[in-house]
Amino acid sequence: MTFRTLLRFGVVIALLGPLLGLAACSSLEPVKPWQKGNLAKPEMTFGGDPLETRFQQHIYFSKENASGGYGVGGGGCGCN
């Protein structure tokens, strides 16, 4: 294969890839109410584990020497 053939193949793949990906976005039938229940599960949230989120907030506010309205008192030294 020559460089020109590889370049053409790359251009075709670069153009067809997004087009095929967008074809999957336009479904013909809407999402059913019972299918939406899977998205409402706790493991599908951005935060994930609430305990892990609370722990990350504690570390952040301890490093920033501030507390941000989450009911956590104290300062950057770790003393409450």
Q: Where are the domains of the chain?
A: 48-66+75-80
pLDDT, residue 55, reads 87
pLDDT score of 75 = 55
At 54 the pLDDT is 85
pLDDT at 79: 60
Mean pLDDT over 2-19 rounds to: 86
Residue 63 CB partners (closer than 8 Å, separation 6+)? 76
pLDDT, residue 70, reads: 56
Q: What is the pLDDT of residues 20-73, one digit of tens each?
A: 777 666 656 777 888 788 777 777 777 677 788 888 888 887 887 765 555 555
pLDDT of 24: 63
8 A C-beta contact, residue 50 and residue 56: no
What's the whole-model pTM score?
Answer: 0.31
